[in-house]
Amino acid sequence: MIIITSLNFFIWTSTTLADEDLSLHSESAILMEAESGQILAEKNANQQMYPASVTKIATAIYVIENGNLSEEVEISEKATEADGTTVFLAEGEKVSLGKLVKGLLINSGNDAGVAIAEHMNGSVREFSKEMTEFFEEKAGIENTNFDNPHGLFDDNHYTTAEDLAKITKYAMQNEKFVKLFGMKSVDWESKTWETTILNHHRMVKGEIPYDGVTGGKNGYVSRSGFTLVTTAEQDGMNLIAVTLKTPLSEQSYEDTVELLDYGFEHYEPFTIDEGTSFMTNGKQFKNSEDLTYVHEEGSKVEEEIKEDGKLVIEDNGELLKEFQLDNVEKKQPTMMKNNQVENENQEDSQSSVYLYIGIGVVAAILVLVLILLWRRKKRRKNNIFI
């Protein structure tokens, strides 16, 4: 027990949860603060898992940022043959890329995913490879490989709860994605189908009420179990909850509610405004943007500035967050002012020299005049004696 306790102490998360605090059904789960990326709670968050349809979060934001949503996409036969949930696309029909993203994210259309991949990169394989590399660069994922755009099972299609939270955090910075992610329904009209498609996430569409839910995506295939990604906001704090592999759908929602409740009840956000000045050993540093972190309510938070300008935030001695600040160099106007002072000093020195020269010239003239007067007076004397 001592060894296990010691190991848990040295595994870094922003908090370590005791079993009595949270009891989760999910095999893997994470709670992340969406602005700072702080991990508030986790269970096997870096364990390799099969994501099922929550994959479509990655597909949607990748397309929104890299595609032209107004472009027309011609649906291939391969796209119409996709297994699982579909939006009943017909071979040869033309649908805008933006509409396909809606069908993908809101109704979980696997056929829309294939059509998107073929349009964007020519094939599902190439699209998946590009998408994986994109999120490695943009979101910092480390344990993910996408093999398709929809999440149907494949041994080579895997991720982790932490990587999914990072992707969702990245996606939530895009206003178009945020709007789609929170949509409860959308009217759908195509060659073969006219209906209103509904979001399958029960907390988003209100079947399971929860204050502040802003978006979500659910998934299921037998090897993945039930998977769920949910975002919520309360009192200025935005949270991302990811739960992976529960045997029952209800359990994934129970875990999500428990995670969100834990975050909102125990943590509060704090923001360091852009342009705040920090000093250390005569050096000045500033932050070029707002810096956000969260901490436990009532805890003692300390800020420390390192020599290299790194701002370290600790909560009762435990690392919460690190930010790299910008070094404030001497401004050019200050340099000009110093130069002006130096020039003024030089001018004063030159003026002093000219003053001394002037005094010397006047003194010389006076002496010369006195000499001339003396000689004149002497000459007059000599004339009298003669």
Cα separation, 15 vs 25, whole angstroms: 20
Q: Which helix (H) or strand (E) holds 348?
A: helix 332-385
- From residue 191, give the alpha-carbon distance in Å to each of 75, 194, 211: 11, 8, 38
**Strand duo 267-272 + 194-198: pairing:** unpaired
Which residue(s) pair with 221 in the sheet? 225
| Token digits of residue 199 | 């979001």
Cα separation, 31 vs 372, whole angstroms: 105
CB-based contacts of 40: which residues, under 8 Å, 6+ apart? 13, 14, 15, 31, 32, 33, 239, 262, 263, 266, 267, 294
Q: Which helix (H) or strand (E) holds 57?
A: helix 55-66
CB-based contacts of 15: which residues, under 8 Å, 6+ apart? 39, 40, 41, 296, 318
Q: Read off the amino acid at residue 167.
A: I
DSSP string, 230-285: EEEEETTEEEEEEEEEESSHHHHHHHHHHHHHHHHHHEEEEEE-TT-EEEETTEEE
38 class by beta-carbon count within 10 Å (0-12 exposed, 13-18 middle, 19+ buried) = buried
| Token digits of residue 385 | 């004696």
CA atoms within 13 A on the CB side of 283: 13
How many of the other CB atoms lie within 10 Å of CB of 31?
30
Asked whether the beta carbons of 5 and 21 are under 8 A apart, the reply is: no
So which residues are the catalytic ones? 53, 56, 108
